[in-house]
Amino acid sequence: MLKLCKKNLLNNWVFLCVALYFLLLFTVPRGYGIGVVLLALTALIVIPLSLWKKQKINLSKVDRNLFIMFAIYGVGLTLINIWHNNPIKEYEHGFKFLLAIPMFLLLYKYPIKPIWLFILVMLATVIGAGLGYYNYTHYGWAYRATVVKMNTIAYSSIIQLFAFISIIGLILVKDIKNKLLKWAYAMLSVIAFVVGMYVSVLSLSRGVWLAIPFQILLVAFFYYKFYKKIVIVITLLFSLGLVSLYFTPQTHIKSRIDKTFKEITAYQKGGTATSIGSRLEMYKFSLLMTKENPILGTPRQEREEKLKQFGEKKIINSSIKRFKFLHSRYFEMLAQYGTVGIVLLLLLDLFVIIAFLFRFKSSNVVTKATGMVGILVLVSYQIYGLVDSLFFINVGLLAYFVLLGSFFGSAPLDTKDDRK
């Protein structure tokens, strides 16, 4: 069960690239890019060569449709940017989805065993949580985490997602025959979940707290079929634990939530110079832009000019210009790409979840676990996207690609699965 992978140089190289991503993510400044760049470069060489040599990659219809949707999404955003005559940096998001296609194909052709993916996620969670807690106790949650060199919102969202993936991976423990390895794996899974969740909720990130109920329900649903009574007890205990953290003054969670409601009340009275006020002003600005250009959104230069005009007329607090993104994947898409962009985004989510639902429906427990990981990643990003821009920043989008691509490739669908 713990055998690394096939005796193939490319299999081992792909594993090394993915391992570098997870092990450097929280330990080296911008280390999250090293493994992904190597993976992308390998894909750009290997996949065209494979096609040139007429080596087939057997894709099921469901998986093939996902690749087609990635291409439609990337090309669609690119065409809108061309129409807007936007600067080249605006093309980056769409280009990344086009570049992800050969990367996903590489991970599909040279898959990593799911148990090793879970182990890498667990190790990254424990390392990242340790460094994050050190940062919290020594510096507090600054805008940029001093130790992990990452935006705090991105850090807390990714570490929380890793924590839930770690506990999903616990299901694979029953396939390990060696007792020592079995216990070591189980302990690593539980420890990763506990420490990952602890530091993520300490960050007080709104997206993290919004996502928790849905993530708990997904994981509970996954395990309920196997351990009904245990799932009910653990879910209740975990929920009580979160409530205890809420009422513990040292965590500042209750005060942060109380502050959120005060800022909403203040905004209704005209107070826009707060964290919540700034977000609501950004959402308001997005809706104003959508009203003016509902179909294809508004070019970057025009958005900047409009923001200046709205600020002068006191329609919008112009201080929001300091933010690179609108702190919501949905309002960001509306402002930049209009209703066409939103439709493309929702179709992308639909095709991703279909690909992983087919895996979740499998009778094979390992495949089922990889399916649940994909569903968890997608749902988490949808919820994070309500209040932050994780989907549009490098570290967030690369985490999305690596998690989905690795687990997608680790359990390829049979072509007969399309008929189920």
Question: How many whole angstroms from its chain centre is CA 79?
Answer: 25
Same domain for 196 and 94: yes
- Report yes or no: 377 and 164 within 8 Å, Cβ to Cβ: no
H runs (alpha helix) in 53-170: 61-84, 92-109, 114-139, 152-168
- Report yes or no: 373 and 168 within 8 Å, Cβ to Cβ: yes
Same domain for 162 and 51: yes
3-state secondary structure at position 418: helix
318-329 confidence digits (pLDDT tens): 777 777 778 889
Same domain for 388 and 365: yes
Same domain for 160 and 141: yes
- Report yes or no: 368 and 324 within 8 Å, Cβ to Cβ: no
Same domain for 286 and 164: no
User: Has residue 248 got a pLDDT over 70?
Assistant: no
Same domain for 39 and 165: yes
Q: What is the band of 80 on the pLDDT scale with cuts at 50, 70, 90? A: very high
pLDDT of res. 419: 38
Dist CA 194 CA 187 (whole Å): 11
- pTM for the structure as a whole: 0.90
**Is residue 31 a part of any domain in this protein?**
yes
Dist CA 43 CA 64 (whole Å): 17
Amino acid occupying residue 96 = K
- Per the structure, the complete domain to which residue 277 belongs is given by 254-322
| Residue that has been written with the tokens 């493994």 in this structure | 35
Same domain for 198 and 137: yes
How many other C-beta atoms lie within 10 A of the C-beta of residue 49? 10
Question: How many whole angstroms from its chain centre is CA 268?
Answer: 32
Same domain for 351 and 234: yes
**Is residue 124 a part of any domain in this protein?**
yes
Identify the top-confidence range among 61-65, 250-254, 267-271.
Answer: 61-65
346-405 confidence digits (pLDDT tens): 999 999 999 999 999 988 999 999 999 999 999 999 999 998 888 998 999 999 999 999
User: Has residue 143 got a pLDDT over 50?
Assistant: no
Same domain for 287 and 215: no
175-203 confidence digits (pLDDT tens): 888 889 999 999 999 999 999 998 888 77
Same domain for 239 and 281: no
pLDDT of res. 368: 94
From first CA to last CA, the distance across the chain in angstroms is 28
Domains held by the chain: number? 2
Between 164 and 241, the more confident residue is: 164
Same domain for 234 and 277: no
254-293 confidence digits (pLDDT tens): 666 666 667 666 666 666 667 777 788 888 888 888 898 8
**Is residue 393 a part of any domain in this protein?**
yes
Same domain for 215 and 102: yes
